[in-house]
Amino acid sequence: MSPISSSSLPADASATATRREFNLSDFDFDLPESLIAQHPTAVRSASRLLDGRVSTPVDRIFNELPDLLEPGDLLVFNDTRVLKARLFGEKASGGKLELLVERVLQGNEVVVHMRVSKKPLIGGRMHLCGGLANGGFDAVLLGRWPDENGQLFHVAFTGPNGETPYELMEQHGHLPLPPYIERQQSTGEDPDEAEDSERYQTVFAAKPGAVAAPTAALHFDQSVLERLAARGVERASVTLHVGAGTFQPVKTENLSEHVMHSEWYSIPFTTLAALERTRQRGGRIIAVGTTTVRTLESWAKSGNLSGDTNIFITPGFQYQVVDMLVTNFHLPKSTLMMLVSAFAGYEHIMGLYRHAIAQQYRFFSYGDSMLLARKRD
């Protein structure tokens, strides 16, 4: 595994204290590859929690979270479920290929990323997981998506008994682990796949559609949820189907030139009612994960309870809904580093990351977490 970056976190926060315009390089830092978690902790809630609500961080264990919240607070979770969206097969001509389902459309149609030496022609047939003749299923390329210049592909699946794309993925697919977890081979063979099938899903995953987990929620187990309820902390859910774009690097130094990926979200009326109750009683709204933040703030910005969002949150963004945030540690130069910096303050976040690296916290999807409070201007 190669190092993620070659620069270091700013040593002196005061050097950037008055900065108002940020560039991509401001969110870079040097991360030892040994801190990139390749496996989950043995127990979900035994992971570490960096309490970063105040200037001096406190090292905790995640199962302490209920004691840090107050009766009347509201935790908002993302209830998406990760699809077994990684599929292996071959073209009709015999060339090997790999598909990653990004989105399920109507009927038997899906949107996919395609990895293959030479793309098939429109109308070309693909045999997945052995094809119809060998216990798998077939697919036909319908075109590019969302238009003829799109980077993704519009595909129709054909199962032996008219199965839905969800059913075909569940039967034949593999969980699409993030690229920095290097256990999964190009064939899909992974001795730890059974572990991932359980641990790369939240305990409350309900609505299939994501290709990446809302990882901050992976730390919650039934014991923590029961203690939160006993403390009088309310729960609500939103849905945002996390796409593969969450792992796409930002390539432009000027952040205004970055084209943000789009993801589908939905907020039920019951969650709106819970948000209103929390505000009325003076409680705090605590988002579990950046996907929940993006959902709630997209609704606040647009007024839409569902639809696609490409919201790009950078320092200077005016948060309207979220008061506190539970989040994992994110990739250098990522849009999520920008989001948390906008939430808790750039200098504060960089200080927390320096502390986390010095204290050997585990990073990324199977890593540890932070609890943040929104910076008040």
For residue 14, is pLDDT > 50? no
Pairing state between β 207-210 and 80-82: parallel
Cβ–Cβ < 8 Å for 66, 49: no
Q: Name every residue whose Cβ is closer than 8 Å to that of residue 248 and which is 6 or more positions away in sequence.
A: 261
List the structure tokens of 355. Answer: 């502390």
- pLDDT band for position 376 (cuts 50, 70, 90): confident
Gap between the terminal Cα atoms of the chain? 40
> What does the pLDDT read at residue 186?
52
| pLDDT at residue 248 in the model | 80
pLDDT at 2: 37
Domain boundaries, the chain: 13-82+198-373, 86-173
> What are the φ and ψ backbone dihedral angles of 338, each rounded to 5 degrees?
-70, -40
Within a 13 Å sphere around the CA of 209, how many CA atoms are in the beta-carbon half? 17
Q: Are the beta carbons of 348 and 52 closer than 8 angstroms?
A: yes
pLDDT at position 188: 55
Query: What is the per-residue pLDDT across 297-306, written as a single tens digit (0 to 9) for each?
Result: 999 999 999 9
**Average pLDDT of the chain, as a whole number:** 92
- Beta-strand pair 285-288/74-78: parallel
φ, ψ at 163 (rounded to 5°): -65, 150
The answer, yes or no, to whether residue 54 has pLDDT greater than 60, is yes
The pLDDT assigned to 323 comes to 98
Per residue, what are the HEC states of the chain? CCCCCCCCCCCCHHHHCCCCCCEHHHHCCCCCHHHECCCCCCCHHHCEEEECCCCCCEEEEHHHHHHHCCCCCEEEEECEEECCCEEEEEECCCCEEEEEEEEECCCCEEEEEEEECCCCCCCCEEEECCCHHHCCEEEEEEEEECCCCCCEEEEEEECCCCCCHHHHHHHHCECCCCCCCCCCCCCCCCCCHHHHHHHCCCCCCCEEEECCCCHHHHHCCHHHHHHHHHHCCEEEEEEECCCHHHHCCCCCCEHHHCCCCCEEEECCHHHHHHHHHHHHHCCCEEEECHHHHHHHHHHHHHCCCEEEECCCCCCCCCCCCCCEEEEECCCCCCHHHHHHHHHHCHHHHHHHHHHHHHCCCCECCCCCEEEEECCCC
Give residue 168's pLDDT: 97
Residue 100 — very low, low, confident or very high, per pLDDT cuts 50/70/90? Answer: very high
Q: Is the pLDDT of residue 189 over 80?
A: no
pLDDT at 209 over 90: yes
Tokens linked to 117: 């030496």
Q: Flag the least confident range among 36-50, 178-192, 253-267.
A: 178-192
pLDDT band at 39 (very low <50, low <70, confident <90, very high): very high
> Are 322 and 296 in contact, with CB atoms under 8 Å apart?
yes
- Name which of 82-96, 174-188, 219-233, 290-304 the model is least confident about: 174-188
pTM for the whole structure: 0.90
pLDDT band, residue 148 (cuts 50/70/90)? confident
Query: Residue 316: how many CB atoms within 10 A of its CB?
Result: 10
Residues with Cβ within 8 Å of residue 18, at least 6 apart in sequence? none
d(CA 310, CA 312): 6
- % of the chain surpassing 90 pLDDT: 83
Using the predicted structure, report yes or no on whether residue 275 has a pLDDT greater than 90. Answer: yes
pLDDT tens for residues 352-374? 999 999 999 999 999 999 999 99
Tokens representing residue 132 in the block: 């119809």
Give CATH for domain 86-173: 2.40.10
Nearest to 160 by CA among 204, 129, 198: 129
**pLDDT at residue 341, rounded to an integer:** 98
Residue 190 — very low, low, confident or very high, per pLDDT cuts 50/70/90?
Answer: low
Span 191-218, mean pLDDT?
Answer: 92
User: Which CATH class for the 13-82+198-373 domain?
Assistant: alpha beta
Percent of the chain clearing pLDDT 70 (strictly above):
92
Tokens of 287: 């988002």
Q: Please tell me what DSSP assigns to residue 174.
A: B
* pLDDT at position 15 over 70: no
For the chain, the helix, strand and coil percentages under 3-state DSSP, each to the nearest 5: 30, 25, 45
pLDDT tens digit sequence for 211-251: 999 999 999 999 999 999 999 999 999 999 999 888 888 99
